[in-house]
């Protein structure tokens, strides 16, 4: 539901608002969207199962590690997944639906010129994979296209990036609202299951079959989306054991009123802007210090605002956000712990714009 004092949500795409969730642990939700928010997810295993370490399964040999230090061309695909087991609430002029329809934008390493713009349907480059999968959750009143510059950079660095458009939260259909916000956690796990089924095997009809390593899955998000990523990584109601790493950007994680799976071993990177005009920085960093357990990286953006550092190459923090998030993903999903030490070095060299706490 909407936090106290925010009865009128800003109509600006950049001013996404992290909603406060009041959900029963491992059960249905309160708020406006019905009671199926935290139901079991197809293929997700037992809710609340913790990962055993800060990265993917150690069964993968060093020779099978995904490529680093390469820049790929980026291919783009649009797909749609429908979950018939859960409903979409009525919203504005939209009468509601008995199912959940989730368009998904896929970005992936592709053959071709790395300096060329992303290309729809480009042939995948399989030479550096299989690649980790990063499932990205957008914020309020926007779609994944709002973050295309950041998502393109991750794909070019050797990741398959999947970004669902969440019903109602995005404004589609019926205008942006939080009425089904608690359902976005199960949406995320549903999409993850569909993607792994289509792309996690070397056989099958999907054009990207075999491109994804199912043991190397991360969740990332900004604002309302950071709460979704954090939820599928850590909340007892919504934890998905397939998620091995979390990148949370621009919000107060304490806004989520739900028990947390502590000391799970899942690494988290939380980026917060000191000048965030939507989410109070002081509240965000105080909650992190008290509640996030290691392995954790808390990166403060000196003078950073709510949206621009995560979407606009013109923003002074954007390149640093790309660098830090990519190093974190490389370190936690590609079996390269040396990349995590690069975060410390980068922040030390750019102390006028970034600070790091562990």
Distances 288 to 9, 105, 268, 291, 308 between C-alpha atoms, Å: 25, 31, 11, 5, 22
Note whether 307 and 250 are within 8 A (CB): yes
CA–CA dist 236, 259 (Å, integer): 6
In 139-175, which positions are buried (b, 16+ CB within 10 angstroms) versus exposed (e)? bbbbbbebbbebbbbbbbbbbbbbbbbbbbbbbbbbe
Count other C-beta atoms under 10 Å from residue 268's C-beta: 26
Q: Cα-atom radius of gyration of the chain, to the nearest Å?
A: 19
Please give the pLDDT value at position 184. Answer: 98
Instruction: Give every CB contact of residue 63 below 8 A, 6+ residues apart in sequence.
Output: none
Q: If you search the block for the tokens 């916000």, which residue do you land on?
A: 181
pTM of the full structure: 0.85
DSSP 253: G
Is the N-terminal amide bond of 173 cis, ω within 30° of 0?
Answer: yes
User: What tokens appear for 260 in the block?
Assistant: 């947390």
Going residue by residue through the chain, which has 358 residues, state the pLDDT in tens, using 9 for 90 and above: 222 222 222 333 334 444 444 343 333 332 222 222 222 232 333 223 333 334 444 444 344 789 899 999 999 999 999 999 999 999 999 999 999 999 999 999 999 999 999 999 999 999 999 999 999 999 999 999 999 999 999 999 999 999 999 999 999 999 999 999 999 999 999 999 999 999 987 767 999 999 999 999 999 999 999 999 999 999 999 999 999 999 999 999 998 878 888 889 999 999 999 999 999 999 999 999 999 999 999 999 999 999 999 999 999 999 999 999 999 999 999 999 999 999 999 999 999 999 999 9
Q: What's 21-51+68-357's CATH class?
A: alpha beta
CA 255 – CA 75 distance, rounded (Å) = 36
Asked whether 75 and 151 are in contact (CB, 8 A), the reply is: no
Residue with tokens 């969740």: 219
Supply the pLDDT for residue 9: 28
| pLDDT single digits (tens) 145-193 | 999 999 999 999 999 999 999 999 999 999 999 999 999 999 999 999 9
Contacts of 335 (CB under 8 A, 6+ apart): 55, 56, 60, 62, 65
Each residue's pLDDT tens digit, 85-115: 999 999 999 999 999 999 999 999 999 999 9
pLDDT confidence of residue 81: 98
Q: Decide: helix, strand or coil at residue 149.
A: helix
Q: How far apart are CA 236 and CA 91, in angstroms?
A: 28
Largest CA distance in the chain: 54
The whole-angstrom separation of Cα 251 and Cα 239 is: 19
Q: What is the pLDDT of residue 203?
A: 65
């Amino acid at each position: 539901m909407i936090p106290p004092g925010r009865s009128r949500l800003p109509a600006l795409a950049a001013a996404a608002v992290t909603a406060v969730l009041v959900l029963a642990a491992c059960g249905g939700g309160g708020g406006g969207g019905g009671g199926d928010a935290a139901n079991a997810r197809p293929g997700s295993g037992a809710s609340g199962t913790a990962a055993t370490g800060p990265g993917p399964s150690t069964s993968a040999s060093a020779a099978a590690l995904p490529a680093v230090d390469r820049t790929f061309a980026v291919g783009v695909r649009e797909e749609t997944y429908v979950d018939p087991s859960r409903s979409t609430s009525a919203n504005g002029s939209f009468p509601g639906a008995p199912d959940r329809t989730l368009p998904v934008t896929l970005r992936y390493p592709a053959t071709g010129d790395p300096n060329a713009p992303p290309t729809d349907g480009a042939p995948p480059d399989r030479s550096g994979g299989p690649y980790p999968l990063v499932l990205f959750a957008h914020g309020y009143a926007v779609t994944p296209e709002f973050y295309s510059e950041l998502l393109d950079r991750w794909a070019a660095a050797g990741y398959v990036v999947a970004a669902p458009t969440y019903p109602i939260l995005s404004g589609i259909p019926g205008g942006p609202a939080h009425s089904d916000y608690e359902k976005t956690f199960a949406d995320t796990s549903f999409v993850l299951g569909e993607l792994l089924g289509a792309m996690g095997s070397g056989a099958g009809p999907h054009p990207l079959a075999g491109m994804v390593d199912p043991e190397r899955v991360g969740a990332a998000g900004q604002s309302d989306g950071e709460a979704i990523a954090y939820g599928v990584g850590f909340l007892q109601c919504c934890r998905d054991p397939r998620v091995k790493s979390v990148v949370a950007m621009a919000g107060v994680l304490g806004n989520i009123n739900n028990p947390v799976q502590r000391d799970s071993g899942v690494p988290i990177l939380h980026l917060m802007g000191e000048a965030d005009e939507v989410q109070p920085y002081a509240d965000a960093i105080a909650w992190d210090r008290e509640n996030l357990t290691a392995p954790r990286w808390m990166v403060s953006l000196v003078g950073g605002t709510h949206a621009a550092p995560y979407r606009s190459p013109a923003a002074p923090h954007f390149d640093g956000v790309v660098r830090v998030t990519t190093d974190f993903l490389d370190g936690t999903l590609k079996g390269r712990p040396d990349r995590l030490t690069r975060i410390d070095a980068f922040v030390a060299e750019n102390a006028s714009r970034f600070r790091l706490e562990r």
